[in-house]
Amino acid sequence: MRKQKFNLIEEYKKSWKYITESKKFIFSIIVVFFVFALIGFLFPVPEFLYNEILEFIREILEATENLSQNELIWFIISNNVQSSFLGMLFGFIYGIFPLIIAIANGYVLGFVSSMSVESVGIASLGKIIPHGIFELPAIFISLGLGLKFGTFAFQKNKAKSFKNYLINSLRIFFLVIIPLLIIAGIIEGTLIFLAG
């Protein structure tokens, strides 16, 4: 049996087909993310969590303090790629890991947005939007696929479902998610560098 040649267009078609088939899971992640973003934005943060988030932000600021534009772009891309990959891959454990990431990221975004509005005003939210145009769809897709991955345990043929979900998820990760995160990293890194 002859091996089929790699066809990029066909691989993209398969990717978009699987994304469409997974839309319920991707939409669920979007809902969870924005519900917790709203909670983080509207409600006072418990003191222990407030300190944890501020420490987390401080560590990121310290890590990126003296980076050149290219180093900053690479830092953002590598962090996002790693986070998206782990969220997708570890979804096989009943989809718990992608949900935790969606909750945490949504809450932190809401908290940071609330602090930003408090100190600079509502117009500050407009500056956050360009950062998420490519990054958020990539993260939502990867976490949605991770959530779907967790359902393999409830299928009749678990081994076949696991393999099918894994192959489709990895194809999308390399053809769709990574390119989106590279574009997002270039935009975000450039904006942060120019603003600094």
For tokens 């809401």, name the residue.
110
Domain count, the chain: 1
Secondary structure class of 7 (helix, strand, coil) = coil
Residue 177: DSSP 8-state? I
Record the tokens describing residue 40, joined without a space.
């983080």
Give residue-wise pLDDT tens across range 8-54: 899 999 999 999 999 999 999 999 999 999 998 888 778 878 888 88
Residue 187 lies in a domain: yes
pLDDT at residue 43, rounded to an integer: 84
Whether 140 is covered by a domain: the verdict is: yes
Residue 16's pLDDT is what? 94
Backbone angles phi, psi at 143, to 5 degrees: -70, -35
Residue 186 lies in a domain: yes
pLDDT over 80 at 106, yes or no? yes
Residue 180's nearest CA partner among 139, 126, 143 is 139
The answer to whether residue 151 sits within a structural domain is: yes
Mean pLDDT, residues 54-58: 84
Task: Kindly state whether residue 18 falls inside one of the protein's structural domains.
Answer: no
H-only helix segments in the chain: 8-21, 23-42, 47-64, 69-89, 96-120, 124-132, 135-149, 158-172, 178-195
Domain membership of residue 28 (yes or no) is yes
Which domain range does residue 172 map to? 23-56+70-195
pLDDT tens digit sequence for 123-171: 666 667 766 788 999 999 999 999 999 888 888 888 998 999 999 999 9
| pLDDT for the residue 64 | 80
Q: Inform me whether the pLDDT recorded for 108 exceeds 70.
A: yes
174 within domain boundaries: yes
In-domain check, residue 185: yes
Give the three-class secondary structure for 61.
Answer: helix
> What is the residue-averaged pLDDT of the chain?
87
pTM of the model: 0.88
| DSSP string over 84-127 | HHHHHHGGGTTTHHHHHHHHHHHHHHHHHHHHHHHHH-TTHHHH
Q: Fill in the DSSP letter of residue 38.
A: H
Place of tokens 């990717």: 15
Most confident residue range from 69-78, 101-110, 139-148? 139-148
Task: Between 102 and 93, name the one with better pLDDT.
Answer: 102
